[in-house]
Chain A
């Protein structure tokens, strides 16, 4: 799988997770690497929910502390790819 298709695959997985768990109704058409975490209605507590779901779907355990410092979806995608997604 090329880097680009890997990225869009992970992005789709993330979108699927977020569609289930997001507390707000963001504009999914413009969802992409530049999407701000904040715009998805996630706060520091609901991020834990997201991490649980990511691990269930991808099998990859992300360090919570690492994820709390990031601001965009693209950064989560990079982390997941780094960890073998």
Chain B
């Protein structure tokens, strides 16, 4: 029964993929927004979480405005999927400059161009992080944690598409340090999204002024392996147009107190993410329960 369901889902996915690849971009985005509207209608829980997060962050003070912004953010997530599926079309060698504006700190650029240097890139669910991953893979192979699809047939297609741009997924359940160290050992780029609720292995760090359990993996890897670490964001500025910003490398001298060092790094990362979000709050994934009291 399960395999029949998987097969049906796979057929539907292939049709969506075909339409996404062939239909005009703007039309595909309109369809994606329509699908997000349907989702918005039925997923009451996410609606409330999104609105409450926006209010708590102080982005909006009026609940109606917050709800409208949360809905816009759900459209953004739908567009992220369309853009990610089509990113190989517009991030080819010839036309990349037409689509990307780059604001890369010189020290990050130097690391990217050094074949003997690995790099840890952190980002949040803001703008289109997949496009940022695609762009950075022009310099060296990128590995990052991805949640595997429940359907193995769809998972195979997604993996194949991602491998087109030198991205190696590390399954979420297999995100152990050994896999990360292998990436750094090969002088590749390790890309980690750090803005989800971290649970027990997190550290409470202010995010929009409210403590949130923040993943410390990237910071610990930086402190222990001395691999350069930076924050990258990718904001949509128009249809298929993006601004990629890489903040200068984080330079946190070891103080001898692990928690102080971690706090310094994680505060800096959260601040960078907050600044990026404030530029366009509608491009952030507000539907995630980052704060759990």
Contacts and interface: CB of A to CB of B under 8 A. Distances in A.
How extensive is the interface on chain A, given as a class? 10 to 19
Contacts of B182: 65
A56 B224 contact: no
A21 to B, nearest CB: 9
A48 B176 contact: no
Interface in A35-85: 43-49, 51-53, 55-56, 64-65, 68
A46 B254 CA distance: 18
B178 A65 contact: yes
Nearest to A52: B258
Contact of A45 (B176, B185, B256, B258): B176
A3 B185 CA distance: 33
Contacts of A47: 177
Contacts of A55: 224
Nearest to B176: A44
Interface of A is mostly: helix
Nearest to A47: B177
A64 B225 contact: yes
Interface in A1-58: 43-49, 51-53, 55-56
A4 B176 CA distance: 35
Given A64-B224, A64-B225, A49 B178 contact: no
Contacts of B217: 45, 48
How extensive is the interface on chain B, given as a class? 10 to 19
B224 A45 contact: no
Contact of B178 (A44, A46, A51, A56): A44
B223 interface: yes
Contacts of A49: 220, 258
Nearest to B220: A48
Given A44-B178, A48-B177, A53 B258 contact: yes
Nearest to B221: A48
A68 B177 contact: yes
A65 B182 CA distance: 8
29 contacts: A43-B176, A44-B176, A44-B177, A44-B178, A45-B176, A45-B177, A45-B201, A45-B217, A45-B220, A47-B177, A48-B177, A48-B220, A49-B220, A49-B258, A52-B220, A52-B223, A52-B224, A53-B258, A56-B254, A56-B258, A64-B177, A64-B181, A64-B221, A64-B225, A65-B178, A65-B182, A65-B185, A68-B177, A68-B181
Interface of A: 43-49, 51-53, 55-56, 64-65, 68
Given A43-B176, A44-B176, A45-B201, 11 more contacts: A46-B201, A48-B221, A48-B223, A49-B258, A51-B224, A52-B220, A52-B224, A56-B256, A64-B177, A64-B181, A65-B185
Interface of B: 176-178, 181-182, 185, 201, 217, 220-221, 223-225, 254, 256, 258
